[in-house]
Amino acid sequence: MNNKDRKFGGRLIDIVLITTIVTLTVLAIIFTIANNESNYQNVSANNEIGKQTNPVNSVFPDISSSVTQEIVTTSINGVQIVKETLKDPIKSYSIQYIKTNSETVNAEIKKYISDSKSQYENIIRLKNTVEEHDITSNLVNKLNITVELYPHQKQYVSVVFTKNITLQSNNTDTTIHTLLFNKETGKTIDLEQILNGDGKSLISISEKVRSSILKNKTYQNHVYSDTLTKLTESKWNNFERFSIKNNSLVFYFNKGEIANSSIGVTTATVSLSTIYPLLIKEFQAGIKDGTVITNPPPKADSTNKKVALTFDDGPHPTITMEILDLLDKYDAKATFFLVGNRVEEYADVVIDTVERGHEIGNHTWSHAKLTNISPKQVLDQLKQTNIAIKNVTGQYPTVFRPPYGAKNQEVISLINLPVVMWTIDTLDWKYRDASKLLPSVKESMHNNAIILMHDIHQSTADGLESVLKYLKEQGYEFVTVSELSQYK
């Protein structure tokens, strides 16, 4: 073959190659356009399902899928529920979350949902279930997130997410995520803020949570004791999952976290009324059960001399009644600090005391020395007595006096009542001598005095009339301790 033939043959090959490349390029462009039109038609079809459904970007971009959203209005102003569904033979999911007027809240929720989707996909990949998937099997992968909303007062909303992940089995992993926010300010709130960052208050919460779980009959014989103890230690990060529901704090533990998986999600409930003194003011509003919120009595003329007679440790079935009769005789009002475990037994005496116009105070349930017991025990002493008095009289006590006068800053911080001490101790509990009662009063008497006596000693009842007669002659007006506080 001469050079001319070789050149012609080379040109022919070049022409063939160029033609082939051009043809393949045109076919690729046509295929791409056709594919895009097909995708557009699929999106349009999804839009025609209903006015509330809209296509969104899939979290799994490598899979051909159909994702839809539905937005539902709730009864809570400014809060909507978004229902998002992915129909896919391998990685399907059904998710609920909320949208609010707060970008801060929305951002936190968006991160939780995004992280949950990523976690779900990564678990599937790690377990190689994509490659091993059997389309004929009834066992599928499924991510399901549901949301519950609990409004509290007018401005707070608790959000509880329950996430279930099932991976081609009948076993489901269940976890909880919570969020509490103020829909007026858009700020999220944690337990540390609710308790004003007080570590001692956290100790009380820790004890109540642990007790709630251990006393729950459903959980008995299923709880992992060591794990429960560890996960209820007084550390803020142990109590991040909670909601406020029906005026109670509800704490959540994931399935299998502190108890056998057969129990499912484990919860502990702590009534806000039992921790009323531990709460910041914003969360104290509206709490009534087991707690006393009283309006101070109106101010009166303060020109006359005043004295407050107080009686501790009752009621007593006979001595208290004798004292009540003497007080009536001298038109005197007094304050009775009751021991809770005696209230129901002598309910008729307590009712009579109230009906005669006297003030009722809380003196703990069992006359406990509060500085020697735990915060939880202090709160229990207060609450039990409050409830006992309410059940008998229909009203809560209005003041509190610690037995033995034993108190410290920790004890005071737990008490949601005015703490009333005394300025004159008659020592009637020590002498048990009627003749010594009046001299002890005379020796220390002053205007606005608070006199300590006990309505469980017969000697006190026997010596009281001489005290009442003397104070009356000296021009003193007998008032309750709450009334007296208005004149100081």
Which residues are 176's β-sheet partners?
A: 162
363 is catalytic: no
Q: Give the whole-angstrom CA distance, residue 375 versus residue 472.
A: 42
- Give the sign of the dihedral formed by CA 268, CA 274, CA 278, CA 282: positive
The catalytic position among 152, 358, 363, 454 is 454
Reduced to 3 states, what is the DSSP secondary structure of residue 372? helix
Element (H, E) at 172: strand 172-182
Reduced to 3 states, what is the DSSP secondary structure of residue 8? helix
Which residues, in sequence order, are CB contacts of 278 under 8 Å at separation 6+? 195, 198, 201, 204, 205, 413, 414
Picking from 205, 253, 261, 254, the residue whose alpha carbon sits closest to that of residue 233 is 205
Q: Give the whole-angstrom CA distance, residue 397 versus residue 399.
A: 6
Cβ atoms < 10 Å from Cβ of 75? 7
Picking from 327, 349, 320, the residue whose alpha carbon sits closest to that of residue 479 is 327
**Long-range contacts at 376-384 (CB < 8 A, ≥ 24 apart):** 376/204, 376/207, 376/208, 376/211, 378/411, 378/414, 378/415, 379/204, 379/274, 379/275, 379/277, 379/414, 381/340, 382/414, 382/415, 382/416, 382/417, 383/273, 383/274, 383/290, 384/340
Which residues, in sequence order, are CB contacts of 163 under 8 Å at separation 6+? 116, 143, 144, 145, 174, 175, 176, 177
The catalytic position among 312, 313, 380, 455 is 312
Sheet of 242-245: strand order equals 242-245, 248-253, 266-271
- Give the sign of the dihedral formed by CA 85, CA 174, CA 104, CA 243: positive
Contact 352, 376 (CB under 8 A): no
Which residues are 476's β-sheet partners?
A: 305
Q: Give the whole-angstrom CA distance, residue 37 versus residue 393.
A: 79
Q: Give the whole-angstrom CA distance, residue 97 versus residue 115.
A: 13
312 is catalytic: yes
Residue 420 CA, chain-centre distance (Å), reads: 30
Phi, psi values for residue 136, rounded to 5°: -85, -10
Q: Give the whole-angstrom CA distance, residue 437 versus residue 472.
A: 16
Active site residues: 312, 454
